[in-house]
Copies of this chain bind each other. A is one copy, B any other.
Amino acid sequence: MNDHTGPSASPATAHERRDESRQDRQPAAAKLHLNRDHALRLLREMLRIRRFEERCAELYTEEKIRGFLHLYIGEEAIAVGVMQCLTAEDAVVTTYREHGHALARGLPMTSLMAEMYGKQEGCSRGRGGSMHLFDLARRFYGGSAIVAGLLPLAVGLALADKLQGRNRVTACFFGEGAAAEGEFHESLNLAALWQLPVLFVCENNLYAMGTALERSQSETHIHRKAQSYQIAAETLDGMDVLAVEIAARQAVAAIRAGEGPRFLECQTYRFRAHSMFDAQLYRDKAEVEAWKKKGPLLRFGHWLEEAGLLDVAGRAQMEAEIEAELAAAVAFAEAGTWESVADLLKDVYTGEP
């Protein structure tokens, strides 16, 4: 049984890093108590997301899932790494690319899949679909299709916590594209000015739809933008689940200690198209392949094997369990029911009609 004490023991060390601020980190605070259960849990959580989304892509071509479908494949380490550091009391706010966050936050795969179908057994009663996953019981506040639109909301959730004297964290996920929007700017200022307990997690996958970061923002190091609001920020390898967990754990600890907001720029890459309607003419295959080699599942899986934490049979069993969970989720969604058209006007206002 391994008990790793920091990033040096993790596969992350083999990865390229663009991290300039890592030296600020206290090695002691970086300790990650990585026992076998936890390691396997990380892999399993990432695999659940991967398999869920692979299946969603199939279901999309079968027209079971409609509308927009944005896959998180390649970025799983971020959601999984960060969620390890949150408690049930904390809040999560995210984007339209949020299946991974929802699963990692503990939303049941069944109700997620039913939501993808638009069935009333879905986590948003089918009204939301892929881009609007909600689960109040798990303090999962969506799921928004407006880029940067939920950043102010995350600030407000944190403000409510601060005003009510609750030591809770609001984790807010968004892409690097969102950092160009005015709402990013206004939100970071508010969070920093009022020293609010927000963990900003930028998933820098280098593209906003088809627009490469260097063609859309004059400062491509997003964490430096955050620093310009006096927010402690760092960049890290978002393909390395351990690196993410370590950084998030430190950030969350600082936030809980009352040190105000923190900002993580996670370097990552989406392996699939932006949505299901994207011919990907804007990036070349070689780039995609190179990033796939750094895939969060691939490397962490290998490392677990090499470290003797997971053998072939163990992996096969994990896959089988996930396959079973997924099959149950699809069956649940298939068996789900359509909300009556008579209820069309429901939930425009509270308590009506």
Q: How far is the CA of A229 from the CA of B185 in the complex (A)?
A: 12
* B180-A189 in contact (CB<8A): yes
User: Is residue A139 within 8 Å, beta carbon to beta carbon, of the partner chain?
Assistant: no
Given the complex, which residues of B lie within 8 Å of A227, measured CB to CB?
A: 228
- 1/0 per residue A212-246: CB within 8 Å of B? 00011111000011011111000000000000000
Q: How far is the CA of A225 from the CA of B219 in the complex (A)?
A: 12
Q: How far is the CA of A186 from the CA of B183 in the complex (A)?
A: 10
- 1/0 per residue A168-194: CB within 8 Å of B? 000000000000111111101100110
Most interface-central of A182, A227, A230 (chain B CB within 10 A)? A182
Interface size, chain A (Cβ < 8 Å): 23
Q: How far is the CA of A225 from the CA of B231 in the complex (A)?
A: 13
Copies per complex of this chain: 2
Given the complex, which residues of B lie within 8 Å of A183, measured CB to CB?
A: 182
Given the complex, which residues of B lie within 8 Å of A228, measured CB to CB?
A: 219, 224-225, 227-228
Least CB distance, A78 to chain B, in whole angstroms: 24
* B192-A186 in contact (CB<8A): no
Q: How far is the CA of A192 from the CA of B216 in the complex (A)?
A: 10
Least CB distance, A207 to chain B, in whole angstroms: 16
Q: How far is the CA of A151 from the CA of B295 in the complex (A)?
A: 42
Q: How far is the CA of A229 from the CA of B219 in the complex (A)?
A: 5
Q: How far is the CA of A164 from the CA of B219 in the complex (A)?
A: 26
Q: Which residue of B lies closest to A182 (CB)?
A: B182
Given the complex, which residues of B lie within 8 Å of A181, measured CB to CB?
A: 182, 185-186
Q: Which residue of B lies closest to A192 (CB)?
A: B218
- 1/0 per residue A181-211: CB within 8 Å of B? 1111110110011000000000000000000
Q: How far is the CA of A182 from the CA of B189 in the complex (A)?
A: 10
Given the complex, which residues of B lie within 8 Å of A184, measured CB to CB?
A: 182, 185
Q: How far is the CA of A193 from the CA of B179 in the complex (A)?
A: 14
Q: Which residue of B lies closest to A193 (CB)?
A: B218
Most interface-central of A180, A219, A227 (chain B CB within 10 A)? A219
Given the complex, which residues of B lie within 8 Å of A225, measured CB to CB?
A: 228
Least CB distance, A195 to chain B, in whole angstroms: 9
Q: How far is the CA of A227 from the CA of B188 in the complex (A)?
A: 17
Given the complex, which residues of B lie within 8 Å of A185, measured CB to CB?
A: 180-182, 184-186
Q: Which residue of B lies closest to A191 (CB)?
A: B218
Q: How far is the CA of A188 from the CA of B182 in the complex (A)?
A: 11
Q: Known contacts A181-B185, A218-B229; can you find 20 more A-B pairs with CB under 8 A?
A: A180-B185, A180-B186, A181-B186, A182-B183, A182-B184, A182-B185, A182-B186, A184-B185, A185-B186, A189-B217, A192-B218, A192-B219, A193-B216, A193-B218, A218-B230, A218-B231, A219-B228, A219-B230, A224-B228, A227-B228
